[in-house]
Structure 1
């Protein structure tokens, strides 16, 4: 009798309930790891928004409150355009000291030499990042801020307050850069004074767009992609929805013209390899395509 009981105890294995519990625990662990990665990435993106971009918007607003004009404008004869002090009207060499009795109205269309972007130091040249890059202004962003008692956000450190480092979704290092410029009426990325944000992955751009205006649409709202073509006003485009941000990989989502949501004839994939990588490959270890966006300011 004792031998029979011993044999039963030796031959006994796992029950179905025990196996189910083990599989459930393994599934919970795998799910927790996946969720943790998403939580970590969202935390990184939220850090970019709170500790860099919103800090720069606060600095821009503080500059306006202290001086009464936008960044780089004339205090005694404001144009209400970023870098307005370098603009000209009726051939005046110094728009800040323009005389009265001008034949032209003091509106943006009357000024010339407008739309230059104010960056820190050398910034980056026109069309260095992509279509739509403005010429660089002669004024320095950091100098303007500190001259008027506005402390720039810490950024990457002293002298590099306009930069911020983060990781793309493939683990490669990417850098953001902030500049400010004025866009003329009709600019697809937003008219008026804007913050230029260079070095965004599509994933980060979607996150910021959702945070800023609640609509991750690269053509609509207060946060838009730079260089996107405007709707041509035809029957199938007038008041149509905008365009999604490019796919988050090294090859953009628009690979053959108008095959994404919205109408956009600018390919960004294998049809335009310089928009991603030189070879158009799509590997997890490659650098994610980087975009430039415009954030419309309140002043």
Structure 2
């Protein structure tokens, strides 16, 4: 009888030791939370590093290539060396009967963009590979080293992953934008800014990051780096009022502005223009 009670006591004592205490569970949950937080932060750090790489190794190097072309030839991309217009694709502009540059240029029809192969997705300006200068050909003929880009022959492209893990392709072209088409900034028409690099395939957060690095603040309407199609301070009241936030977000599906925020979507893209110094 005594032995049976002793065994029963041992069994009851053993059953009370099974499981975790509340303190142990709290510690485990805290560790899991730290791990999840570290993974999330790591993804953000990795994405920011990729955006910085795109700026330093692709956008900046294309700007340098553009400037080197000007230094070696004395004209901007596609301009006439005998009758320079200081316009990208200025030779084609002259051939089309355009008025000599330096006069009132607000109402002129600008020449096509200069790209490699085809215009970028979302570009407002066209590119005719049969008639317009090829960006890669202009650079190689002048002996200018281009950024590595996506691959040999695709130096004007760069591929990266959006915030949902889908591949996106950045492409650069160059064009000349006419000055604003009205004397009143409140009713101005057009992008303006003269010779620009056109950058397509940017997710909204990449566009904001580039704008922050270039202009010091993400403003789609002001500065050297702007969103295509957004008028320069047009419609503002007062005229020189604050700028404008980038309107698209990474919650939008590509080709839409639906704000549906699904992890399976390819993120929407925007097109930016980046003013050149020449």
Alignment of 1:178-217 (within 5 A): 178-186=172-180, 189-217=191-219
- Out of 130, 147, 151, the position equivalent to 2:145 is 151
Which residue number corresponds to residue 183 of structure 2?
Answer: none
The 1:296–1:150 alpha-carbon spacing in structure 2 relative to 1, beyond 3 Å, is same
Alignment of 1:89-104 (within 5 A): 91=97
**CA drift at 1:152:** 1.5
- Out of 97, 117, 120, the position equivalent to 1:121 is 117
The 1:205–1:91 alpha-carbon spacing in structure 2 relative to 1, beyond 3 Å, is closer
Which residue number corresponds to residue 266 of structure 2?
Answer: 287
> Between Structure 1 and Structure 2, how many residues are aligned?
258
Q: TM-score, normalised by structure 1?
A: 0.74
**CA drift at 1:199:** 0.8
Q: Are 1:88 and 1:112, in contact at CA under 8 Å, matched by a contact in 2? A: no
**CA drift at 1:283:** 2.2
Q: Are 2:253 and 2:265, in contact at CA under 8 Å, matched by a contact in 1? A: no
Provide structure 2 residue ranges, at least 5 long, that are not aligned to the other structure.
Answer: 1-5, 181-188
Of the two, which has the highest radius of gyration?
A: 2
**CA drift at 1:105:** 6.6
Which residue number corresponds to residue 242 of structure 2?
Answer: 241
The 1:105–1:143 alpha-carbon spacing in structure 2 relative to 1, beyond 3 Å, is closer
Q: Distance in 2 between matches of 1:119 and 1:90?
A: 19
Q: Are 1:73 and 1:82, in contact at CA under 8 Å, matched by a contact in 2? A: yes
Provide structure 1 residue ranges, at least 5 long, that are not aligned to the other structure.
Answer: 93-103, 253-274
- Per-residue CA shift, 1:52-87, capped at 9, x if unaligned? 111111111111221222111122332111111112
Alignment of 1:4-43 (within 5 A): 11=16, 18-43=24-49
- Per-residue CA shift, 1:128-179, capped at 9, x if unaligned? 626x334546111011111111022121212211111111111111111110
Please state whether the residue corresponding to 2:94 is helix, strand or coil. coil
What is the RMSD computed on CA atoms of the aligned residues? Answer: 3.2
**CA drift at 1:19:** 4.5
Q: Distance in 2 between matches of 1:106 and 1:27?
A: 63
**CA drift at 1:121:** 2.4
